[in-house]
Structure 1
Amino acid sequence: MTLSLLLKGLVKGTTFEHMRNLNESAKALRELLSQRILVLDGAMGTMLQQRNLVATDFGGAALEGCNENLVPTRPDVVLEIHRKYFEAGSDIVETNSFGGAPIVLAEYGLAAHAHELNKRAAELARQAADELATSQKPRFVAGSIGPTTKAITVTGGVTFEQLREAYYIQAKGLVEGGVDVLLVETCQDTRNIKAAILAIQGLSREIGGEVPFIVSVTIEPMGTMLAGQTVEAMWASLRHAHPLAFGMNCATGPEFMTDHIRTLSQL
C-alpha cells in the first residue's frame, strides 16, 4: 500500500535492551527529521502481487491471500522486497504485517499465531535494515499496524477492549522483533486509533520505556475519514499522545491530499 506521510514534528537481545534501543531510535528519527525528509517505502501488497504467488506459497488454498503468512512460508520473497526498497533509497521500510492483528488473522484461522507472525515480520525487515545500513545512511523499520477489518463507528461488530487487546498483541510482537517505530496506518475511525494508542502506551508502561509511534489516517473524497472526522479534528484528538509523526495515506492519493496537508502544516 502506497503511503504518503506528512511528517509533523517528526528509529535484540532482551526486551529491556531493545527498549533502550527504541528510545535511541526515536531520538535518531527526530534528529534526522529536523535535518531532512525521510523516505518511507512503497506498497508491499503490490510488490507481492507482481511475484504471481500461488496457493502453496501462502501455505495452502485456505490461506491464499493472507500476505502476513508469507513471513513463515516465503520469507525469501518478503526479505527481497525489503532489500529492494532500501536499495532504491528508502530510509524506512514497513513490516509485512498490515493485517497482522488477531481480529484479521482470525479470518484465516491464524489468530493464535498473531504474536509470532508479527515478531517474524519485524525480524525480516530488521535483517534487511541491518544489512544495508551505513554510518552515513542509517536504516529504520516501522511496524505496520493496519486498521483491521472492524471499525467501531463504521462497521460495529467489535468492542473497544477487543480492539485494544488485538493491537497490543500485534504491537508487542513487532517490538520484540526489532522495529524502531510503530506505524498505525490507514486509519478510518478515531476510536480505533485511540484503542491502538492505549495499547501502545500500555506496552510502554509494561517494558518501562518509550515505544514511538506514527499515525496515518485515510481521508475520503468527501473530506473526512469514513467515520466522519476531519483531519483537523483527528489531530486535535491525538496530539496529546505525542506521536512521532502524523500524516495521511491511501484513498484519494497524493494529488487530492494537498489541501489537507496545507491545513496540517498550519496547525
Structure 2
Amino acid sequence: MGTTIQNLSLNSSDFGGTLYEGCNEILSLTKPELITGIHESYLKAGCDIIETNTFGGTPLVLKEYNLNEKTYEINYCAAKLARIAADKYTSQEKPRFVAGSIGPTTKAISVTGGITYDELKQNFYEQAKGLYKGGVDYFLLETCQDTRNIKAALTAIDQLFSEMQDIIPIAISATIEPTGTMLAGQTIEALLASLAHRDLLYLGLNCATGPAFMTDAIRTLSDLSPFYVSCVPNAGLPDENGCYLETPQ
C-alpha cells in the first residue's frame, strides 16, 4: 500500500493540507476513491487478501500529524473501504479477505524506550477497535521488531475481544535484520517461544532487505513453528533513485 501511494506523486492537497502531507493513513478520509482504487487493483490481479491502509494507524504515529484524535475514524474508514472492495470481488469460488494492518509504531520498548507498556497497549487498543468495527477479517501485526511490543498489542486485542464478546483471527509478521535477529535482538526461536501459547492464523516474516536475506530465518521458522508460515519480502533495497531492482521472478 505505502509504496503504491508513493508512486502516485500526490501533493499536499490530496492529504488535506501541508500539515498532513506524508500521512498515508489520512487518505482513507481525504481520498477514499484513491485507496479503493489501490485495493481493487490488487483484487483484479487475483489477490485473496488485501490490507487496510493503516500501517501507521496508532495514535502514537498519527500524533506526529496532530491526527491522534482521529484514530478511530481513520481505522474504521480504512477497514470499511477494504471491506467493501473485498466484498465486491468475492465469489463463492474465490472469497476475498481483509487484513487489518497494525504496524510497529515508532517506539519499541526494548530499543527506543520513551513509552510504557500500558501506553503502548492503549495505542494498539484504539487502533484495533476501529479496525474491528470497520469489518476486518483478521488482525495482522506486521513488521514487528520487538516481542514486548507484540505482547502489548496482543494484550490490547484480548481486551477488545473481551469487551466485544467476539474473537477474530490474529496473524503476526516480524522483520529480521541482516544480523538474523529482530531489531530488539530477539531470535526466531525467541519469537516462537514468546508466542507458543497463542492460537495464531499464521506467523511469518515481512520486509527486511529482500528475499535473499530471509531464507535462513524462514527455514528455521518452517522447521519449528506450529503455525502456518508466511513470507512477504521487500523487493530488495532501493537504488539512488528510489527504485527497487528485484522483480517478482
**Normalized against structure 1, the TM-score is what?**
0.83
Task: Provide runs of 4+ in structure 1 moved above 6 Å.
Answer: none
The one-letter amino acid paired with 2:213 is F
Aligned residues of 1:95 and 1:122 also touching (Cα < 8 A): yes
Determine the structure 1 residue equivalent to 2:229: none
Higher RCO (C-alpha 8 Å, min separation 6): 1
Range that drifts further, 202-211 or 96-105: 202-211
Determine the structure 2 residue equivalent to 1:46: 3
From 93, 98, 114, give the equivalent of 1:141.
98
**Residue 119 in 1 paired to residue 83 in 2?**
no
Distance 2:22 2:2 in 1: 10
Q: Give the aligned CA root-mean-square deviation in angstroms.
A: 0.7
Determine the structure 1 residue equivalent to 2:117: 160
**Residue 58 in 1 paired to residue 11 in 2?**
no
Determine the structure 2 residue equivalent to 1:221: 178
SS of 1:241 mapped into structure 2: coil
Aligned residues of 1:203 and 1:211 also touching (Cα < 8 A): no
Distance 1:71 1:257 in 2: 32
Aligned residues of 1:215 and 1:245 also touching (Cα < 8 A): yes
Provide the identity percentage.
Answer: 59
From 50, 73, 77, give the equivalent of 1:93.
50
| 1:147-204 CA distance string (max 9 Å, x none) | 0001111111111001100000100100000100000000001110000000111111
**Residue 200 in 1 paired to residue 185 in 2?**
no
CA drift of 1:239 comes to: 2.0
Which structure 1 segments of 5+ residues have no match?
1-43
Determine the structure 2 residue equivalent to 1:28: none
SS of 2:179 mapped into structure 1: coil
The one-letter amino acid paired with 2:89 is L
CA drift of 1:51 comes to: 1.2
Which structure 2 segments of 5+ residues have no match?
225-249
Give the total of aligned pairs: 224
**Normalized against structure 2, the TM-score is what?**
0.89
Aligned residues of 1:95 and 1:144 also touching (Cα < 8 A): yes
Determine the structure 2 residue equivalent to 1:260: 217
**Residue 129 in 1 paired to residue 60 in 2?**
no
Determine the structure 2 residue equivalent to 1:240: 197
Higher helix share: 1
Distance 2:152 2:162 in 1: 15
SS of 1:183 mapped into structure 2: strand
Determine the structure 2 residue equivalent to 1:16: none
